[in-house]
Amino acid sequence: MSAATADPAVTRWRQALVDRPAIALGGVLVVLYVVTGLVEPNLFSANGVRSTLLLACPLAILAASQTLCMLTGGIDLSTVMTANFAAYVAANQSGQGPVVALGLALAVGLAVGTVNGIGVGVFKVNPLIMTLGMASVLLGVVTVGLVGDGFLSGSTRLLPVLRTVASGTLFGPIPNNLVLWALVAAALIFGLARTGLGRAIYAVGDNPVACRLAGVRIWQVLLAVYVMSALLASLAGLLFSGISGSVGPDQTNAYLLPSVAAAVIGGTSILGGVGGYTGTILGALILTVLNRLLLALDTTEAFRQILYGLIVLALAWVYVRITGQRGT
Amino acid sequence: MSSTPRAVAATPLPRPSGRATRFRRRQGWVVGVALLLGVLIFWRYSQIPAFGPFEIRGIVAGTMTLALLAMAQSVIVISGGIDLSVGAMMVLANCIAARLMLEQDLGPVVLIALAVVAVAMVLSGLIGTIAVVSGVPDIVVTLAASFVLSGLALIVLDSPGGGTNPRFQQLLVGGFDEPLPATLWLAALLLLIWLPFKRSRLGIATYAVGSDRAAAFLSGVRVGRTRVIAYVLAGFFSGMAGIVTTAFTGSGEPRASIGATATLTSVAAVVLGGVALLGGSGTLLGPVLAAFCLSLIPALMLGLGWDPNYAEVARGIIIIVVVMIGGLVQIPRRSR
Q: What is the pLDDT of residues B82-139, one digit of tens each?
A: 998 999 999 999 999 999 998 888 889 999 999 999 999 999 999 999 999 988 888 8
What's the rounded Cα separation, in Å, for the pair A78 and A128? 9
Q: How many CB pairs under 8 A join A and B?
A: 159
What's the rounded Cα separation, in Å, for the pair A91 and A89? 5
- The answer for residues whose C-beta is within 8 angstroms of residue A150's C-beta and 6 or more apart is A144
Closest-CA residue of chain B to A150 = B307
What's the rounded Cα separation, in Å, for the pair B190 and B240? 13
> Rounded mean pLDDT of A26-39?
89
CB-side exposure of B254: number of CA atoms within 13 Å?
Answer: 24
**Does A310 lie at the interface with B, CB-CB under 8 angstroms?**
yes
- pLDDT digits over B188-217, tens only? 999 999 999 999 999 999 999 999 999 999
Q: For residue A94, what pLDDT band results from cuts at 50, 70 and 90?
A: confident
Q: How far is CA A237 from the centre of its chain?
A: 11
Model pLDDT, residue A220: 94
**With an 8 Å Cβ cutoff, are A303 and B155 in contact?**
yes
Are A276 and A268 spatial neighbours (Cβ–Cβ below 8 Å)? yes
Closest-CA residue of chain B to A123 = B324
Topology, domain A2-323: ABC transporter involved in vitamin B12 uptake, BtuC (1.10.3470)
**Does B31 lie at the interface with A, CB-CB under 8 angstroms?**
no
**Averaged confidence pLDDT in chain B:** 86
**With an 8 Å Cβ cutoff, are A326 and B256 in contact?**
no
> Rounded mean pLDDT of A182-205?
93
Question: Does pLDDT of B331 surpass 50?
Answer: no
- The residue among B180, B187, B182, B172 whose CA lies nearest residue B284 is B187
Closest-CA residue of chain B to A254 = B257
Closest-CA residue of chain A to B144 = A309
- pLDDT digits over A203-248, tens only? 999 998 999 899 999 999 999 999 999 999 999 999 999 888 888 8
**With an 8 Å Cβ cutoff, are A306 and B144 in contact?**
no
**What is the 3-state composition of chain B as percent helix, strand, coil, each rounded to the nearest 5?**
75, 0, 25
Q: For residue B11, what pLDDT band results from cuts at 50, 70 and 90?
A: low
Tell me which residue in B130, B146, B317 faces A137 most closely, judged by beta carbons: B317
- Domains of chain A by residue range: 2-323
Contacts of A77 in chain B (CB under 8 A): 264
Closest-CA residue of chain B to A262 = B140
> Rounded mean pLDDT of A295-303?
82
What's the rounded Cα separation, in Å, for the pair B161 and A9? 58
Q: For residue A6, what pLDDT band results from cuts at 50, 70 and 90?
A: low
**With an 8 Å Cβ cutoff, are B141 and A313 in contact?**
yes
Backbone CA torsion sign across B304, B308, B313, B315: positive
Tell me which residue in A137, A213, A270 faces B139 most closely, judged by beta carbons: A270
What's the rounded Cα separation, in Å, for the pair B56 and B173? 12
- The residue among A60, A14, A6, A78 whose CA lies nearest residue A239 is A60
> Rounded mean pLDDT of A244-270?
85
pTM: 0.83
**Does B256 lie at the interface with A, CB-CB under 8 angstroms?**
yes
Closest-CA residue of chain A to B85 = A309
Model pLDDT, residue B209: 94
> Rounded mean pLDDT of B26-46?
87
**Averaged confidence pLDDT in chain A:** 86
**With an 8 Å Cβ cutoff, are B147 and A141 in contact?**
no
Model pLDDT, residue B8: 56
Tally of CB atoms within 10 A around A9: 8
Contacts of B148 in chain A (CB under 8 A): 305-306, 309-310, 313
H helix count then E strand count, chain B: 14, 0
Contacts of B4 in chain A (CB under 8 A): 213
Model pLDDT, residue A133: 85
Contacts of B261 in chain A (CB under 8 A): none
Question: Does pLDDT of B333 surpass 60?
Answer: no
Q: H-helix or E-strand containing A175?
A: strand A174-175
**With an 8 Å Cβ cutoff, are B154 and A213 in contact?**
no
Contacts of A136 in chain B (CB under 8 A): 268, 312-313, 315-316, 319
Closest-CA residue of chain A to B323 = A125
Contacts of B260 in chain A (CB under 8 A): 257
Length of chain A in residues, anyone? Answer: 328
- The residue among B207, B323, B330 whose CA lies nearest residue B272 is B323
Model pLDDT, residue A13: 73
Output phi, psi for B161, to 5 deg: 170, -155
Model pLDDT, residue B67: 95
**Does B130 lie at the interface with A, CB-CB under 8 angstroms?**
yes
- The answer for residues whose C-beta is within 8 angstroms of residue B43's C-beta and 6 or more apart is B300
Output phi, psi for A174, to 5 deg: -100, 110
Alpha helices in A118-195 (DSSP H): 127-146, 160-167, 177-194
Q: For residue A298, what pLDDT band results from cuts at 50, 70 and 90?
A: confident
Model pLDDT, residue A202: 94
Q: Percentage of chain B with pLDDT > 90? A: 45
Provide the 3-class DSSP secondary structure of residue B48. Answer: coil
What's the rounded Cα separation, in Å, for the pair B11 and B48? 57
Model pLDDT, residue A3: 44
Model pLDDT, residue B119: 97
- pLDDT digits over A148-159, tens only? 777 777 777 888
Model pLDDT, residue B202: 92
What's the rounded Cα separation, in Å, for the pair B284 and B189? 10
- pLDDT digits over B219-241, tens only? 999 999 999 999 999 999 999 99
Q: For residue A325, what pLDDT band results from cuts at 50, 70 and 90?
A: low
Model pLDDT, residue B2: 46
Identify the weakest region by mean pLDDT among A2-6, A168-172, B213-217.
Answer: A2-6
- pLDDT digits over B137-173, tens only? 888 899 889 989 999 999 999 889 888 888 888 888 8
What ipTM goes with this model? 0.80
Are A241 and A67 spatial neighbours (Cβ–Cβ below 8 Å)? no
Question: Does pLDDT of B19 surpass 80?
Answer: no
Identify the weakest region by mean pLDDT among A103-107, A262-266, B221-225, B232-236.
Answer: A262-266
